[in-house]
Structure 1
Amino acid sequence: MKRTLLPEITALIRPPIDPSLQDQLIQLRRFIHVIQAWGPLFSKWYLGGDSKEEALRYEAFGEGEFKAAALAVLRATNRGKETACDIGLWNGQDGSQAAGLKYLMGGLRPWTVNLRPRVDPAITTSQVVSVVEQAASIWSPTLITAHPPAYMAKKVFRDRPGVGNMLYLPRAVTEREVPEAGALVPVIRERCHIGTIIISVVDQMFSDLLPEHVRLANSIEVRLVDQDLLPRYADL
């Protein structure tokens, strides 16, 4: 069996107003601060480029702030617009150690923040939860998914998100509503319960290669749909 893939984490966002580029960078810095706890592979982030050499010229963050040279490149590619349509970052690694982070303006679709790591078996479910919690706190998203890319072909409903490792919903969810869940983690911001992370497997990292993991995630999806808790993509 292949090594377990870290989940791809995607937050879907409908901001009430378009954030400024400065706000976007502050949000990304807060998000990356939690990702850096995953280990050295996630400690440095660079602007994307047409080649590896070009990308490595511009490290994104210094001592808590976006570096001036990288900011100048972003402003130039953004052509003077106040809000960036596409911010792409890369951890400077190749192959199975690579990770990418995208902040995309979706037009008529929701905005997305997408973290795509490759393989690192040292990461725990609780560390993934910390990143999902941070994304929920920063962006107040309509939904966050966390699962290996291959799980997209194994989820139950084509027109709805899947559960996989875990799913964040911006509402309270109880054990009575989803008894199949391995755990339900309330997300608190400024003493308010803003949402719930529904975790499928708690004792190990979820793998779409394990049929029992897939069956459990699928059963949670069916339960959520039966209670009208799992929205369609078209409604997000």
Structure 2
Amino acid sequence: MDLSIKLDVELQEEMSIPLLIDIFSHMILTCESITHEKEESWYLTGDTLEEALQKKAFNEYTPTDLLKTIPYFDCMESIWANENKALNVKYTSSGLIYNLEFKLRDISISNKVSIIDALGYYFDAYKIVCMRIDTNGYRYNDKNVFPDRFPVGWMLYLNKIITQEQVPMAAQLITIENEKNKGTLIISKEGVFDGSNKDDIKKSNEIEIQLTALGLLPLIREIYN
């Protein structure tokens, strides 16, 4: 199963090399927690595979001198371990909202608890604007109801308090409340969500419709504009 995790985070400081290294380090740990696999090396991207393999970013958890001396930032920095694992950090010119993106392919997902536990660090470390977790291309294949609004997929975190009474069809609602965040993690299905399964798609669609009717599902442009 392919797993896609997207976190839109608001940082209290401008992006820097030390901060980028710290984010990537924790993203690597998150991948290990979810996949139960440890990679010896992670690489920066290149125009060809041969070029990329010369641009090692991490030896296990240790950043290389190359990563420490990136001369400038593009709009996105990426590292990868193999064809099934890629981590991206995208950032805007305003330096406010950053997108941390995990793309993990062909993995066996044990349960939602392991994923929630693995992502707990981010709720404590960053102000989360939005968090989305999809499997098997739910959003990529346009299975969500509203193309201009955030998809629910398997899990969706919104920085607002939502109750079970408001969205009774959701499998679980987890309130996140700490110094950084106050919101709700909406979980559409108790077991593993399959973004290509008709019943799972229907369940997520129902939640999207209900949230929109209540004015709780934001437009994408409300976040990025």
Place the TM-score, normalised by the shorter chain, in its bin: 0.7 to 0.9
The answer to whether residue 26 in structure 2 is matched with residue 30 in structure 1 is: yes
Q: 1:53/1:126 Cα in 2 relative to 1: closer, same or farther (>3 Å)?
A: farther
The answer to whether residue 216 in structure 2 is matched with residue 226 in structure 1 is: no
Determine helix, strand or coil for the equivalent of 2:58: coil
Alignment of 1:5-44 (within 5 A): 5-6=2-3, 8-37=4-33, 38-40=35-37, 44=41
2:93 aligns to what?
107
Q: 1:193/1:105 Cα in 2 relative to 1: closer, same or farther (>3 Å)?
A: closer
Residues in 1 aligned to 2:39 and 2:184: alpha-carbon distance in whole angstroms? 26
The answer to whether residue 144 in structure 2 is matched with residue 155 in structure 1 is: yes
Among candidates 154, 157, 161, match of residue 165 of structure 1: 154
Among candidates 56, 60, 65, match of residue 57 of structure 2: 60
Alignment of 1:123-134 (within 5 A): 123-134=110-121
Count of residues in correspondence between the two structures: 219
TM-score norm. by structure 2 comes to: 0.84
The answer to whether residue 133 in structure 2 is matched with residue 146 in structure 1 is: yes
Q: 1:208/1:64 Cα in 2 relative to 1: closer, same or farther (>3 Å)?
A: closer
1:198 aligns to what?
186
Q: CA deviation at 1:121?
A: 2.1
Conserved 8 A contact 1:27-1:138: no
Q: CA deviation at 1:64?
A: 4.5
Conserved 8 A contact 1:180-1:220: yes
Identity of aligned residues (%): 23
TM-score norm. by structure 1 comes to: 0.80
Bigger share in strand = 2
Output the amino acid matched with 1:34: T
Output the amino acid matched with 2:87: L
Conserved 8 A contact 1:13-1:143: yes
Q: CA deviation at 1:182?
A: 0.9
Conserved 8 A contact 2:170-2:207: yes
Q: CA deviation at 1:115?
A: 1.0
* CA deviation map 1:102-131 (0-9, x unaligned): 101133694311111111124432232234
Determine helix, strand or coil for the equivalent of 2:175: strand
Determine helix, strand or coil for the equivalent of 2:145: coil
Residues in 2 aligned to 1:111 and 1:196: alpha-carbon distance in whole angstroms? 20
Residues in 2 aligned to 1:137 and 1:43: alpha-carbon distance in whole angstroms? 27
